[in-house]
Chains A and B, each alone.
Chain A
Amino acid sequence: MASKLSHLFDIRNVIGALLAIYGVVLTVAGFAPGLVRERDKGASNNPVDLYFGTDANWWVGLALIGVAVAFFTWALLRPVRLEETPTTSASP
């Protein structure tokens, strides 16, 4: 049980989980822009229109899911060794 918990709470899985949640939420919001109101851009005096629109959400969302998968894979392939001796590296 302790080993399962410490595997689940490996910091790589924690980072992966947060990025995955962000990724999924942003992807859904990007493909269903009705969920978020199109933002009031206000009176802008910018010579270049910088606003990127809600499509930006799913671009970033998919990228974050990719990064999250990379973290899960890393944690799976190189699990933390439980016997912590001061001379071995727990993970690369």
Chain B
Amino acid sequence: MTTTTTLAAENVLRLNLGWLDYVLVAIYFVFVLGIGFIARSQISTSLDFFLSGRRLPAWVTGLAFISANLGAIEIMGMSANGAEVGLSTMHYYWIGAVPAMLFLGVVMMPFYYGSKVRSVPEFMRRRFGPGAHLVNAISFAFAQILIAGVNLFLLATVINALVGWPRWLSLIVAAAVVLSYITLGGLSAAIYNEVLQFFVILAALVPLTVFGLIRVGGWNGLKDKVIDTTSGGKVTASVHDQLTTWPGQALSGFDSPVWSVIGIVFGLGFVLSFGYWTTNFVEVQRAMASNSMSAARRSPIIAAFPKMFIPFVIIVPGMIAAAAIGDMIRLKSTGKGDVTYNDAMLLMIRDILPNGLLGVAVAGLLASFMAGMAANISAFNTVFSYDIWQDYVVKDRPDHYYIVVGRIATVAAAILAIFTALIAAGYSNLMDYLQTLFGFFNAPLFATFILGMFWKRMTSTAGWAGLVAGTLSAVFVFILSEVGVINLPGQGMPFVAASAAFVIDIVVSVAVTMVTTPKPVTELAGLVYSETPREVFGDPQSAGKAWYYRPVPLAAVALTLTIILNVVFH
């Protein structure tokens, strides 16, 4: 999902931090580095370094799964959407995340965990051979460095606006901290810090929401204070649009309510979100670190529960900001002002919290920036070491060699991310474009994976041909929309681009399969549903356990809750 990198002018956002706030931030840094040292003692093989030795319990990998995605970019971007279009932003969570996470746990995780692959690209290699694997591994590795750099740049920008530290200082400090704990403790250090970050960020967001709601007179008080969003003299989101989730025209940008619902359900809910959640190794890696098939399947499902409720402490503060903060109200009613929508969360922190809690909020923001970056880097070093270095460059070395490669890759990634951040500082539009483009890689990936997992005839050539054709068609739609041939406001363009990529990928894959030779059936065990012995997917340890220890009943409860939330807030 794309984000812009604009914030308000410096002094508007400045917080007056006291010594107590700095103490709280410092304590957090001690814990972050401490976790790196603790996790180091657990590393003896490369699997320990890259996949935490596959021994973490489901609640840890589940919270890390959600936390890896709960970066500060997400928090600021989604509260900005909350300020601008209100409750329809919930679709990003209830339609655009939860169903895909449940699908990953119920349907796809058995293939990932059961085949014992160490990364998502490795599954690609085993199923489709080196062509599709290289396309996937290289584009993924490249995208991770880019996203880590953008994250780092935003961290420096936000800290500069809030506290006034020079950008280069926070850039280098944050990169050095992330670098040290990942080089020391590998994925375990990243995952433990993600779990810790989850609670710190909640310790800031929950009070912010509760106190904000008390001040505006509760939920009803907030509803009374919401105003129309105006841009260029036109109302882009009416009060009614902002207080209901469906049909979500303010979000999708479609005029027709029917097309808006179709766009949100198929474009966001199916193509974009299934593509992102089920094939993105940053997420899937967390589940792969689980200690059993049952735990691996349950981790995205456990993650779905916080994912359902977390928008209440992200989107609602955005709505409060837009209803109660003077600068924000002016922006909303005139379309211009000294602040941007991206400032919504920061303005709330500035106006609500006293010294003390301000320190918790700054620690939480730093934590979520660093956890976001750490997630990208720990996924990068795994794909680089296993999928690029071990598969194509230096093969068949002893296991210990690849831990060293992983540590070097981590250092290189952190340095590259600093350079990417410096480029982002100069060319922020370029970064926005690139992020949009990488968003297009996921939709065709999902099409290729799902066909490959359930259709044993699908050939290796079809694997990479479908991927390339799908990605190119998304880029084609993007270019058409950029030069104005098709005009899709709001989120319409990503929805259409991803849908085109998905459909073209399927069509090309099927067509190419018909004229090429499939892999021998014997090589497909564990990779294709019909060729895998049932006991590989079996889950002996969840038999007879309570419903919340079993993936499918747990997923059913999560789905029911999501439907109830959609009905209550329709």
Are A48 and B225 closer than 8 Å at their CB atoms?
Answer: yes
Are A51 and B20 closer than 8 Å at their CB atoms?
Answer: no
Are B216 and A48 closer than 8 Å at their CB atoms?
Answer: yes
Are A39 and B352 closer than 8 Å at their CB atoms?
Answer: no
Are A14 and B203 closer than 8 Å at their CB atoms?
Answer: no
User: Nearest Cβ distance between residue A35 and chain B, in whole angstroms?
Assistant: 7
Which residues does chain B contribute within 8 Å of A9, judged by CB atoms?
38
User: Nearest Cβ distance between residue B545 and chain A, in whole angstroms?
Assistant: 9
Are B356 and A19 closer than 8 Å at their CB atoms?
Answer: no
Are B192 and A14 closer than 8 Å at their CB atoms?
Answer: yes
A29 to B355, CA, bound (A): 9
Which residues does chain B contribute within 8 Å of A11, judged by CB atoms?
60, 192, 195-196
Q: With A46-B324, A47-B326 known to touch, is A57 a contact of B357 (CB < 8 Å)? A: yes
A84 to B57, CA, bound (A): 11
Interface residues of B in 547-566 (CB under 8 A from A): 549
User: Nearest Cβ distance between residue A37 and chain B, in whole angstroms?
Assistant: 6
Are B291 and A36 closer than 8 Å at their CB atoms?
Answer: no
B164 interfacial contact with A, CB 8 Å: no
Q: With A15-B196, A19-B199, A64-B203 known to touch, is A47 a contact of B355 (CB < 8 Å)? A: no
User: Nearest Cβ distance between residue B290 and chain A, in whole angstroms?
Assistant: 9
Are B16 and A40 closer than 8 Å at their CB atoms?
Answer: yes
Interface size on B, residues (CB 8 A): 54
Are B326 and A39 closer than 8 Å at their CB atoms?
Answer: no
B14-33 to A contact mask, C-beta < 8 Å, 1/0: 00101010011001100100
Which of B31, B56, B294, B351 interacts with A46 by CB under 8 Å?
B351
Q: With A11-B60, A26-B360, A89-B57 known to touch, is A52 a contact of B38 (CB < 8 Å)? A: no
Are B326 and A44 closer than 8 Å at their CB atoms?
Answer: yes
Chain A CB within 10 Å — which of B34, B55, B216, B354 has the most?
A: B354
User: Nearest Cβ distance between residue B296 and chain A, in whole angstroms?
Assistant: 11
A21 to B196, CA, bound (A): 14
Are B353 and A56 closer than 8 Å at their CB atoms?
Answer: yes
User: Nearest Cβ distance between residue A44 and chain B, in whole angstroms?
Assistant: 7
Which residues does chain A contribute within 8 Å of B57, judged by CB atoms?
89-92
Are B352 and A25 closer than 8 Å at their CB atoms?
Answer: no
Which residues does chain B contribute within 8 Å of A90, judged by CB atoms?
55-57, 291
B44 interfacial contact with A, CB 8 Å: no
Which residues does chain A contribute within 8 Å of B323, judged by CB atoms?
48
Are A59 and B207 closer than 8 Å at their CB atoms?
Answer: yes
B432 interfacial contact with A, CB 8 Å: no
Which of A29, A45, A49, A89 interacts with B58 by CB under 8 Å?
A89
B516 interfacial contact with A, CB 8 Å: no
Which residues does chain A contribute within 8 Å of B192, judged by CB atoms?
11, 14
Smallest CB gap from A71: residue in B: B199
Q: With A14-B35, A46-B324, A89-B57 known to touch, is A36 a contact of B18 (CB < 8 Å)? A: yes
A88 interfacial contact with B, CB 8 Å: yes
Which of A15, A51, A59, A89 interacts with B291 by CB under 8 Å?
A89
The number of chain A residues touching the other chain, given as a range, is 35 or more
Which residues does chain A contribute within 8 Å of B549, judged by CB atoms?
89, 92
Are B24 and A25 closer than 8 Å at their CB atoms?
Answer: yes
Which residues does chain A contribute within 8 Å of B58, judged by CB atoms?
89, 92
Q: With A14-B196, A86-B55, A91-B57 known to touch, is A50 a contact of B326 (CB < 8 Å)? A: no
Interface residues of B in 49-103 (CB under 8 A from A): 54-60
A8 to B45, CA, bound (A): 24
Which residues does chain A contribute within 8 Å of B216, judged by CB atoms?
48, 50
A30 to B24, CA, bound (A): 14
A57 to B326, CA, bound (A): 25
Are A87 and B195 closer than 8 Å at their CB atoms?
Answer: no
Are B351 and A44 closer than 8 Å at their CB atoms?
Answer: yes
Interface residues of A in 1-49 (CB under 8 A from B): 9, 11, 14-15, 17-19, 21-22, 25-26, 29-30, 35-37, 39-40, 44-49
Chain A CB within 10 Å — which of B31, B58, B203 has the most?
A: B203
Are A36 and B55 closer than 8 Å at their CB atoms?
Answer: no
Smallest CB gap from B207: residue in A: A60
Are A50 and B325 closer than 8 Å at their CB atoms?
Answer: yes
User: Nearest Cβ distance between residue A6 and chain B, in whole angstroms?
Assistant: 9
Q: With A15-B196, A21-B27, A87-B541 known to touch, is A47 a contact of B324 (CB < 8 Å)? A: yes
Smallest CB gap from B27: residue in A: A21
Are A45 and B327 closer than 8 Å at their CB atoms?
Answer: yes
Are A56 and B207 closer than 8 Å at their CB atoms?
Answer: yes
B328-339 to A contact mask, C-beta < 8 Å, 1/0: 010000000000
Are B54 and A86 closer than 8 Å at their CB atoms?
Answer: yes
Which residues does chain B contribute within 8 Å of A29, judged by CB atoms?
20, 355-356
B211 interfacial contact with A, CB 8 Å: yes
The 7 closest A-B pairs by CB, nearest first: A45-B326, A48-B324, A36-B355, A57-B356, A29-B356, A50-B351, A52-B211
Give 14 new A-B contacts, CB below 8 A, not counting A18-B28, A40-B16, A50-B351. Answer: A11-B192, A25-B27, A30-B356, A37-B355, A47-B324, A48-B323, A50-B212, A50-B215, A56-B207, A56-B211, A59-B207, A60-B207, A89-B292, A90-B291
22 residue pairs of the A-B complex, CB under 8 angstroms, read A14-B31, A14-B196, A15-B195, A18-B200, A19-B199, A22-B200, A25-B23, A36-B18, A39-B16, A45-B326, A46-B351, A50-B325, A50-B351, A51-B351, A52-B211, A52-B215, A52-B353, A52-B354, A54-B354, A56-B352, A56-B356, A60-B203
Hey, which bits of chain A sit against chain B, CB under 8 A? 9, 11, 14-15, 17-19, 21-22, 25-26, 29-30, 35-37, 39-40, 44-54, 56-57, 59-60, 64, 67, 84, 86-92
Hey, which bits of chain B sit against chain A, CB under 8 A? 16, 18, 20, 23-24, 27-28, 31, 34-35, 38, 54-60, 192, 195-196, 199-200, 203, 207, 211-212, 214-216, 225, 291-292, 294-295, 320, 323-327, 329, 348, 351-357, 360, 540-541, 549
